[in-house]
């Protein structure tokens, strides 16, 4: 069986093994496939019955042009790269990789928050420039440092990653509010489920962990920002399109939003004209939260297991239903 990986580099830049797939069939791995080049995507898929992708789009046009295609494996939890409904209509199984990076993404969300509040990089750079040596006193600080204990974190999307982030926030003494998910017993142990408007009004920090769907597109916009506390901090490790980036940049410029930390943007890689690049008090990391080798090994292992399960007639983690 021919197996094609359309964009394997981010999953495996050379520190993992493709042996799991090589043991299943004849494997062709492309480091990257142009996202906007449908002709090249189709050429690379060819007559392969099994294809794996991370962000290379497999839309209805691609699906219809590949009559031999029977299986699409994702190197991700998110399914926005694949038209799952169209695939289901064609009898194609689409399988994702859930819950592989919960701890790492929660860790990254908190890392962004701690950098904003403790300004570690700023002070480290200052010390290495010699400013501590020249200080007349035993300490100094460059900008205000924020204590998180006693503040309220509002989490939009209280699934596994949202709850993991909430547990850390609670351990640091923060009050936790959650919106966008149905109440669950494990969530109630961490925080309080509220309506979105209440979360916006009462949160000092808002951390976004909901999936990208039509109803969450630009969920953070001028109107919702206006409902937030003045000086709120916004963290986004979910999907860039959940935030109206122009509205957030303007709110940062005005001070309405005190700071933001994002690991995702609306178009990736980031474009030079993205308004967040020139906005004050905005930390941007390159969609790196999911990338620890432990997480990527889990992705590989689950993706291989998904394909084996499909071949054995009992597909797992199916999202094309």
Check: CB of residue 245 under 8 Å from CB of residue 220: no
How would you write the pLDDT of the chain (321 residues) with one tens digit per residue? 999 999 999 999 999 999 999 999 999 999 999 999 999 999 999 999 999 999 999 999 999 999 999 999 999 998 989 999 999 999 999 999 999 999 999 999 999 999 999 999 999 999 999 999 999 999 999 999 999 999 999 999 999 999 999 999 999 999 999 999 999 999 999 999 999 999 999 999 999 999 999 999 999 999 999 999 999 999 999 999 999 999 999 999 999 999 999 999 999 999 999 999 999 999 999 999 999 999 999 999 999 999 999 999 999 999 997
Could you confirm whether 40 is annotated as catalytic? no
Question: For residue 282, what is the enclosing H or E element?
Answer: strand 282-284
Nearest residue to 92 (alpha-carbon basis) of 55, 57, 43, 51: 51
> What percent of the chain has pLDDT above 90?
98
Nearest residue to 11 (alpha-carbon basis) of 82, 100, 104, 75: 75
Among 268, 298, 308, 316, the active-site one is 268
Question: For residue 252, what is the enclosing H or E element?
Answer: helix 245-254
The string of DSSP codes covering 224-284 is HHHHSPTTEEEEE-S-GGGB-HHHHHHHHHHTSEEEEEES--SSSSPPTT-GGGGSTTEEE
- Per residue in 230-269, pLDDT tens? 999 999 999 999 999 999 999 999 999 999 999 999 999 9
Which domains, from first to last, does the chain contain?
2-100+293-311 (3.40.50.720), 102-284 (3.40.50.720)
- Per residue in 199-228, pLDDT tens? 999 999 999 999 999 999 999 999 999 999
Among 209, 256, 287, 296, the active-site one is 287
Among 239, 245, 256, 296, the active-site one is 239
Check: CB of residue 165 under 8 Å from CB of residue 106: yes
Nearest residue to 318 (alpha-carbon basis) of 300, 306, 301, 302: 306
Could you confirm whether 298 is annotated as catalytic? no
Cα-based torsion angle of the residue sequence 77, 83, 85, 90 in order, rounded to the nearest 10 degrees:
-120
Could you confirm whether 287 is annotated as catalytic? yes
Task: Report pTM.
Answer: 0.93
Distance CA 300, CA 17 (A): 9
């Amino acid at each position: 069986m021919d197996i094609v990986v359309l964009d394997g580099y981010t999953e495996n830049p050379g520190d993992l093994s493709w042996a799991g797939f090589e043991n299943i069939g004849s494997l062709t791995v492309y480091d990257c496939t142009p996202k906007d080049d449908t002709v090249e995507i189709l050429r690379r898929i060819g007559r392969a019955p099994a294809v794996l992708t991370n962000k290379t789009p497999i839309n209805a046009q691609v699906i219809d042009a590949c009559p031999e295609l029977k299986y699409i494996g994702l190197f991700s939890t998110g399914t926005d790269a694949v038209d799952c409904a169209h695939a289901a209509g064609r009898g194609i199984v689409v399988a994702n990789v859930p819950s592989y990076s919960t701890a790492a993404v929660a860790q990254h969300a908190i890392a962004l928050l701690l950098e904003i509040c403790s300004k570690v990089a700023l002070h480290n750079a200052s010390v290495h420039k010699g400013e501590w040596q020249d200080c007349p006193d035993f300490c100094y600080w460059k900008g205000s440092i924020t204590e998180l204990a006693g503040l309220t974190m509002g989490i939009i999307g209280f699934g596994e990653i949202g709850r993991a982030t909430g547990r850390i926030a609670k351990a640091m003494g923060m009050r936790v509010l959650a919106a966008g998910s149905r109440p669950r017993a494990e969530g109630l142990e961490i925080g309080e489920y509220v309506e979105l408007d209440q979360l916006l009004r009462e949160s000092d920090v808002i951390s976004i962990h909901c999936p990208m769907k039509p109803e969450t597109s630009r969920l953070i916009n001028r109107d919702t920002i206006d409902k937030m506390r003045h000086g709120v901090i916004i963290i986004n490790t979910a999907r860039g399109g959940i935030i109206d980036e122009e509205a957030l940049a303007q709110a940062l410029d005005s001070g309405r939003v005190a700071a933001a930390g994002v690991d995702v943007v609306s178009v990736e890689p980031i474009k030079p004209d993205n308004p967040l690049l020139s906005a004050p008090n905005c930390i941007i990391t390159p969609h790196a939260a999911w990338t620890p080798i432990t997480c990527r090994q889990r992705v590989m292992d689950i993706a291989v297991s998904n394909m084996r399960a499909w071949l054995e007639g009992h597909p797992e983690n199916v999202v094309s239903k």
